[in-house]
């Protein structure tokens, strides 16, 4: 295939060229700048045009590439220190590329994005469906690039593919700085002989070669299932762990400063969709990757450091000092070299009919005053005086030259003009430097203002949503929770989880029934994430949470412990804890007093609905249970089974139905024997065929085997029962 790569000089570009070349593709390159000195191996043709050039369309039409890859977030042609200027140039260039690609109709357009489009902290890994929240002008510009690709895909049917990379890092080019966390820590170690890191900052990183390998599989796939993929190792690492890995390579002279203060921050992309569709294998782990980068930066520290850096080493400092001295001496050397031709020109002009009145020394002094300023003007003036006196002594003595007033008039003229022009040059240079410093300061202020504005915009949008949707109003909360009344008493707790998820704006919610003073059983959950604590938990062992719950307070997971829910609220009946409401999948910004109060109110309203249902069932206890047994009657048990399987079809619970085989045909005796070996959350009853059945809550077919063996040990055989056709017709008569 013909592949067009678009981007500047970088390790990412080198890796892409090598990968496509090794796999037999023909590589074309659009450099994005008019730089003809660049050299790339294995590139079939190189085009040195800017992205907004009119020739882009002609280039695409002539190449007709099957794949076009734009490096986007990793394009070295953009200096993001000048974000406002580069943002406009980036957007204009990308628009021109997409427009030209659309008109040429040449294959797939691949856009490289990064985790920077997410600026918030997230409790869980971020899937592709999560709404982006860019912070800063660079992140916003990259996110706008994604939107442009999406718009061209929707409006014109263009084949666009967006790849979001998570924390790409790699070995830098000598003397070229990078923005990844690993390189920044290495630079901090060289400059300060120390690395400041926090254990509260969690992220994920992907070594450059691994990132290219993973991206290649999607790029060359003829029919990728998604227009957007997250490419991530999904292996969490903290700043402190990364700093320790770097210190092992940097040597004993580097110390770690632990600044683990403030809130937890986690940003890890979820690459589960990619893993399910493609074979993902990470070849370079954190320890290996950090060692490679640290060893390279340490070996070539003189290219990255200055003489003042603590970790530069004596050789690096010597090299930097020599480079600094040579840089300061270079104008003087240049001055001496240029003096020779001007001295020769002045000698040839003496006595010449045409050039006798041309003062070459004055031109020489003015030249260096204009180029280098007052200091070099004085030095060139001294050289000119020496040359003038030397030339005059060809015909006169040195004493006569010194007594000649014309010599001093000429010298005054030379120095006055030279120093005046040099002073003006220095002043202009100082003004330019002051302007640059002020611009740098203002850019920093603008960046701060942009971040504050982004935060204010998000808060404004949240308030607007609250006003428009009224999701957080007491009326809306009551409306949703009161909808539980329309369900049958057996269904109330299942749909309470749905109501809680809707009101807390979280996909991951679970409701646990408190079985006794130590254990709670999972009754209903809205996602696999909400079930990760298991079907049965010893909640008293979770001291941090249980202390708050027993005090009838809402628990907030301030330490972001991944083994605890982010928020939990108890539901009491009298002095006995009856339920535990658990909420996962909340951003840390929402773990506030307002959310705590909201969860408390929701818990009270759900409690009212559950209590009404329980009181109703207690009132009908004599009608629901068969006389003298703990078995539910046919009608009551049928309703209960239907409620459980209806909830299972909606992903709210797991349940299994067992048929107990009784030889004597009397289920009452079997029920009395088996009831002592059942959990409090399991149910026993009869269906229309008159047989004895056991409903196991939050138990799948695999774990039901334990209960079957337990019944067998008591002398009763049992088997799994399928409810035929129930998934497609949940309200039909139960047929077993």
**Distant-in-sequence, close-in-space partners of 391: CB < 8 Å, separation ≥ 6:** 343, 346, 347, 350
Q: Is 724 buried (19+), middle (13-18) or exposed (0-12) by CB count in 10 A?
A: exposed
Residue 508 per-residue DSSP state: E
Task: Look at residue 489 in the predicted model and tell me its pLDDT.
Answer: 52
What's phi and psi for 62, nearest 5 deg? -80, -35
272 membership: H or E segment, kind and range? helix 272-277
Distance between CA atoms of residues 476 and 544, nearest Å? 32
- pLDDT, tens digit (0-9, with 9 covering 90-100), for 36-83: 556 677 888 888 888 988 888 889 988 899 999 999 999 988 888 777
**Distant-in-sequence, close-in-space partners of 402: CB < 8 Å, separation ≥ 6:** none
Q: Is 359 buried (19+), middle (13-18) or exposed (0-12) by CB count in 10 A?
A: middle
Decide if 573 contacts 607 (C-beta within 8 A): yes
Task: Look at residue 73 in the predicted model and tell me its pLDDT.
Answer: 92
Distance between CA atoms of residues 702 and 162, nearest Å? 40
The closest of 616, 631, 626, 640 to 678, measured between CA atoms, is: 631
At 156, is the secondary structure helix, strand, or coil?
Answer: helix
> What are the distances in angstroms from CA 7 to CA 93, 186, 231, 337?
11, 26, 20, 41
**Distant-in-sequence, close-in-space partners of 718: CB < 8 Å, separation ≥ 6:** 658, 659, 660, 661, 694, 707, 708, 711, 712
At 367, is the secondary structure helix, strand, or coil?
Answer: helix
Secondary structure of 199-265 as H, E, C letters:
CCEEEECEEHHHHHHHHHHHHCCCCCCCCEEEECCCCEEEHHHHHHHHHHHHCCCCEEEECCCCCCE
Two structure tokens written together for 531 = 């079930």
Decide if 214 contacts 274 (C-beta within 8 A): yes
At 660, is the secondary structure helix, strand, or coil?
Answer: strand
DSSP string computed for 69-137: EE-GGG-TT--TTSHHHHHHHHHHHHHHHHHHHHHHT-SEEEEEEEGGGB-S--SSPBPTTSPPB--SH
Q: In sequence order, what are the beta bridge partners of 573?
A: 576
Two structure tokens written together for 11 = 């390790």
Distance between CA atoms of residues 667 and 657, nearest Å? 16
Decide if 687 contacts 721 (C-beta within 8 A): no
Distance between CA atoms of residues 197 and 258, nearest Å? 5
Two structure tokens written together for 696 = 């196991």
Task: Look at residue 733 in the predicted model and tell me its pLDDT.
Answer: 43
* CB contact burial 660-670 (16+ within 10 A = b; e otherwise): bebeeeebeeb
Query: Cα 329 vs. chain centroid, distance in angstroms?
Result: 47
* CB contact burial 317-333 (16+ within 10 A = b; e otherwise): bebbeeeeeeeeeebee
Tell me the pTM: 0.57
Q: Which residue has the tokens 């009132």?
A: 619
Low-confidence ranges of the chain (pLDDT < 50): 307, 310, 312, 471, 475, 617, 619-621, 725-733, 735-736
Q: Which residue has the tokens 């700043």?
A: 239
Distance between CA atoms of residues 120 and 136, nearest Å? 12
Give CA angle at 382 (377, 384), nearest 5°: 90
Domains in the chain with CATH codes? 1-165 (3.40.50.720), 316-424 (no CATH), 474-619 (3.30.450.40), 622-720 (3.30.70.270)
Task: Look at residue 633 in the predicted model and tell me its pLDDT.
Answer: 74
Distance between CA atoms of residues 177 and 171, nearest Å? 10
Pairing of the two strands 567-573 and 536-538: unpaired
Q: Evaluate the CA torsion angle 323, 328, 330, 336 in order and state its sign.
A: negative
Distance between CA atoms of residues 455 and 702, nearest Å? 48
Q: In sequence order, what are the beta bridge partners of 556?
A: 567
Secondary structure of 22-86 as H, E, C letters:
HCCCEEEEECCCCCCCCCCCCCCEEECCCCCCCCHHHHHHHHCCCEEEECHHHCCCCCCCCHHHH
Secondary structure of 373-393 as H, E, C letters:
CHHHHHHHHHHHHHHHHHHHC
Distance between CA atoms of residues 564 and 593, nearest Å? 19
How many residues comprise the chain?
736
> What are the distances in angstroms from CA 64 to CA 60, 61, 96, 389?
6, 5, 17, 71
Decide if 179 contacts 185 (C-beta within 8 A): no
């Amino acid at each position: 295939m013909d592949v067009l790569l678009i981007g500047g000089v970088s390790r990412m570009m080198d890796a892409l060229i090598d990968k496509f070349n090794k796999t037999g593709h023909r590589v074309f390159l659009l450099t994005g700048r008019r730089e003809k000195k660049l050299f790339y191996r294995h590139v079939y043709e190189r085009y040195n045009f800017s992205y907004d050039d009119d020739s882009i369309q002609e280039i695409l039409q002539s190449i007709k590439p099957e794949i076009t890859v734009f490096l986007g977030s990793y394009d070295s042609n953009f200096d993001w220190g000048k974000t406002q200027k580069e943002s406009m140039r980036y957007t204009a260039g990308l628009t021109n590329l997409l427009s030209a690609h659309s008109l040429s109709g040449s294959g797939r357009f691949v856009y490289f994005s990064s985790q920077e489009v997410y600026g918030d902290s997230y409790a869980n890994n971020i899937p592709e469906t999560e709404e982006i929240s860019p912070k800063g002008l660079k992140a916003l510009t990259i996110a706008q690039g994604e939107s442009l690709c999406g718009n061209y895909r929707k409006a014109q049917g263009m084949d666009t593919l967006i790849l979001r990379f998570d924390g790409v890092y790699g070995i830098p080019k000598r003397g070229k700085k990078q923005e990844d966390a690993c390189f920044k820590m290495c630079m901090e170690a060289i400059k300060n002989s120390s690395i400041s890191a926090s254990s509260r900052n969690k992220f994920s990183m992907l070594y450059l070669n691994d990132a290219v390998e993973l991206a290649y599989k999607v790029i060359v796939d003829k029919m990728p299932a998604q227009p957007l993929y997250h490419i991530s190792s999904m292996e969490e690492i903290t700043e402190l762990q990364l700093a320790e890995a770097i210190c092992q390579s940097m040597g004993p002279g580097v110390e770690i400063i632990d600044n683990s203060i403030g809130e937890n921050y986690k940003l890890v992309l979820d690459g589960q969709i990619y893993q399910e569709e493609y074979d993902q294998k990470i070849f370079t782990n954190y320890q290996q990757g950090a060692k490679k980068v640290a060893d390279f930066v340490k070996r070539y520290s003189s290219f990255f450091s200055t003489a003042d850096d603590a970790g530069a080493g004596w050789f690096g400092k010597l090299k930097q000092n020599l480079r600094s001295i040579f840089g300061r001496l270079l104008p003087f050397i240049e001055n001496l070299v240029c003096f020779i031709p001007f001295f020769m020109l002045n000698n040839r002009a003496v006595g010449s009919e045409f050039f006798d009145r041309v003062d070459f020394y004055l031109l020489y002094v003015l030249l260096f005053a204009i180029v280098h300023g007052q200091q070099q003007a004085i030095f060139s003036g001294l050289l000119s005086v020496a040359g003038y006196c030397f030339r005059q002594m060809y015909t006169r003595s040195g004493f006569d030259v010194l007594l000649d007033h014309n010599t001093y008039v000429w010298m005054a003229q030379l120095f006055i003009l030279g120093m005046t022009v040099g002073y003006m040059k220095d002043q202009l240079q100082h003004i330019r430097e002051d302007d640059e410093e002020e611009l740098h300061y203002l850019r920093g202020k603008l960046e701060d203002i942009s971040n504050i504005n982004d935060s204010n915009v998000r808060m404004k949008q949240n308030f607007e949503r609250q006003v428009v949707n009224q999701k957080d109003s007491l009326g809306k909360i009551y409306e949703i929770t009161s909808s539980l009344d329309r369900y049958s008493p057996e269904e109330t707790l299942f749909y309470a989880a749905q109501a809680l998820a809707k009101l807390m704006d979280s996909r991951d919610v679970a409701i646990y029934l408190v079985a006794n003073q130590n254990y709670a059983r999972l009754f209903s959950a809205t996602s696999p994430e909400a079930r990760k604590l298991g079907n049965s938990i010893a909640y008293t062992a979770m001291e941090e949470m249980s202390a708050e719950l027993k005090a009838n307070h809402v628990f907030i997971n301030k330490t972001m412990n991944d083994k605890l829910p982010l928020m939990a609220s108890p539901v009491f009946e009298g002095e006995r804890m009856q339920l535990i409401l658990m909420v996962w999948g909340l951003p840390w910004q929402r773990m506030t007093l307002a959310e705590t109060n909201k969860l408390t109110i929701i818990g009270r309203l759900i409690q009212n609905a559950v209590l009404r249902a329980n009181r109703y069932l207690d009132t009908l206890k004599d009608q629901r249970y068969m006389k003298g047994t703990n078995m539910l009657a046919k009608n009551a048990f049928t309703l209960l089974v239907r409620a459980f399987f209806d909830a299972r079809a909606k992903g709210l619970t797991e349940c299994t139905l067992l048929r107990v085989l009784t030889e004597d045909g009397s289920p009452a005796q079997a029920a009395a024997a088996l009831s002592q070996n059942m959990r409090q959350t399991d149910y026993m009853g009869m269906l229309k065929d008159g047989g004895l059945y056991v409903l196991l809550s939050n138990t799948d077919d695999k774990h039901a085997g334990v209960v079957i063996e337990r019944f067998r040990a008591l002398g009763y055989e049992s088997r799994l029962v399928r409810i035929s056709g129930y998934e497609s017709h949940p309200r039909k008569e139960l047929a077993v």
